[in-house]
Amino acid sequence: MSRIVGLLAVLLTGSLAVEGAALAQSGHTGHGASVAQPAPADAAGQRRILYYRNPMGLPDTSPVPKKDPMGMDYVAVYEGEEIGAGVVTISPEKVQKLGVRTEPVGRRTLARQVRAVGTVQVDERRLYVVAPKFEAWIEKLHVDTTGATVRRGQPLMEVYSPELVLAQQEYLVARRAGASDGLAEASLQRLRNLDVPEEDIERLRKTGKASRTLVYRAAADGVVLEKAAVKGMRFTPGEPLYRIADLSQVWLIADVFEQDLGQVQLGHDIEAVVNALPGRVFSGTISFIYPTLTAESRTGKVRIDLANPDGLLKPNLYATVNLHNEVVREPAVVVPESALLDTGRRQVVLVETGEGRYEPREVKTGARADGYVQISAGLEGGERVVVRANFLIDSESNLRAALSGFGGGQHQHQ
């Protein structure tokens, strides 16, 4: 298109130059210069001429007819046509044919929905492992299945430990021999260091008899996730026998896409939908944003605390996370995203200036969310912008601006 316009300009300029030379030779120019006469009305006398504009679209007008440095006549602008360069006028029939639709510019807050997927995980702060500090043999299992629910203080197993029996006997001997209270108390402290419950130590004091076996009890409420304990087995100090987790509160570890991480902040409330529980919505709070990014998926991990009083949320369940984040809290000038024409170098909207008249206007944009884009400069509330078929109008506007420099004046597209 630019090549065609350039060629037309060259041809038209040459034609005007030849015509000017002929007129100069024939003496029609008087003193050798073209004298422009004002023309207040057109030939029919129906429309009044307001002014004359530069034929090449430059911001230069004249109250009287004149020529530009290339010898081209300024274009008359009639009453009712006082619109800027690039403005296109389209007949009502063509507006309907193109399907042009406009909407008023409004003010509103913007909120962006951030979506992510994640899995339910055990709250690491509510997870503990049963690993006795002494060597012993398991003589009886009270909790013998994985997945069993246990309560704080509930017996897990009965164990026989020569080390525990010896510590009890040392205490009894020291007490019977009338040794100092310090020696007897040291024997009891040894039992406490081996995590012998205080009620068993109190029973030893009252009865004065050493127990052959010790009942090992659960330290907290929870669910048995792993069980390595088997009846009759021997275990060594620190060997994990049970892995128990309190599932009354769980973590939801969500993978948030890299481009959405900037919208995620600590303390934001979220809603989660678990695939295994359709129709149920769980509410939680973002408690931690992990400092690393997964290179393969370009996602960052976010930890969400979820209450789970009914125990419906089980570890490793898949969930979908929705975060409603207010991008613009105060009402701002916004237009639908479909109204924006972005060429990469400029951002333009088409403003309806009258019936069938559309003016391309460059704007500055801000945040985008919820199908709208914030306009920080270039528009005012109440103006109407084209939200449909704007690309076709913009194309015609660009074509009109290019051709108007060749004396065609304002084009009415039928």
Neighbours of 54 (CB within 10 A): 18
Q: Indicate the pLDDT class of residue 45, thresholds 50, 70 and 90.
A: low
Return d(Cα 190, Cα 201) in angstroms, integer: 11
Confidence of residue 259 (pLDDT cuts 50, 70, 90): confident
How does DSSP classify residue 67?
A: B
Q: What is the pLDDT of residue 9?
A: 40
pLDDT beyond 80 at 336 = yes
* Cα–Cα separations (whole angstroms), residue 284 to 25, 266, 271, 281: 90, 12, 6, 10
Cβ neighbours, 10 Å, residue 49: 18
Give the integer Cα–Cα distance in Å for 71 and 219: 99
How much is the average pLDDT of 288-297? 91
- pLDDT category, 406, cuts 50, 70, 90? very low
pLDDT for position 326:
59
Q: Which is higher by pLDDT, 143 or 31?
A: 143
Min mean pLDDT across 228-242, 269-283, 343-357 is at 343-357
Quote the pLDDT of residue 36: 40
Is residue 250 within 8 Å of residue 304, measured between CB atoms? Answer: no
Q: Give the largest CA-CA distance in the chain.
A: 146
pLDDT for res 104? 81
Which pLDDT does position 394 carry in this prediction? 58
pLDDT of residue 138: 96
pLDDT at 302 over 80: yes
Tokens 């060997």, located at residue: 239
Q: Which tens digits make up the pLDDT trace of 97-134?
A: 777 788 788 777 766 778 899 999 999 999 999 999 99
Mean pLDDT over residues 242-259, rounded? 93
Strand, helix or coil for residue 167: helix
DSSP structure class, residue 73: B
According to the model, what pLDDT value does residue 401 have?
A: 54
Stretch 406-411: mean pLDDT: 42
At residue 179 the predicted structure's pLDDT band, cuts being 50, 70 and 90, is low
Name the residue with tokens 């060594």.
236
In which band, very low, low, confident or very high, does the pLDDT at 363 lie, cut at 50, 70 and 90? confident
Beta bridge mates, 289: 302
- Which is more confidently placed, 407 or 93? 93
Mean residue pLDDT across the chain: 77
Tokens in use for 285? Answer: 């709070």
Q: 363 - beta bridge partners?
A: none
Average pLDDT (338-349) is: 77
pLDDT at 209 over 60: yes
Res 399 pLDDT > 60: no
Does position 317 have pLDDT exceeding 90, yes or no? Answer: yes
Helix (H) or strand (E) holding 301: strand 299-307
State the pLDDT at residue 145: 94
Summarised one tens digit per residue, pLDDT across range 189-207 is 999 999 898 999 999 989 9
Check residue 76 and give its pLDDT: 78
**pLDDT score at 407:** 41
- Cα–Cα distance list, 298 to 292, 303, 356 (Å): 10, 17, 48
Beta strands in 123-162 (DSSP E): 127-130, 136-141, 149-150, 155-160
Residue 284 is given by DSSP the state: E
Q: What is the mean pLDDT of residues 146-160?
A: 94
pLDDT at 33: 35
User: Is the Cβ–Cβ distance between 74 and 52 less than 8 Å?
Assistant: yes
Per DSSP, 6 falls in state H
Strand partners, 167: none
pLDDT of residue 177: 76
Tell me if 357 sits within 8 A of 351, measured CB to CB.
no
* Percent of the chain predicted with pLDDT > 70: 73
**Segment 350-365 mean pLDDT:** 78
Are 136 and 161 spatial neighbours (Cβ–Cβ below 8 Å)?
yes
Condensed to tens digits (0 to 9), the pLDDT of residues 63-89 reads 889 888 888 888 777 665 554 555 666
pTM of whole model > 0.85?
no
Query: How, if at all, do strands 88-90 and 412-413 pair?
Result: parallel
pLDDT at 252: 95
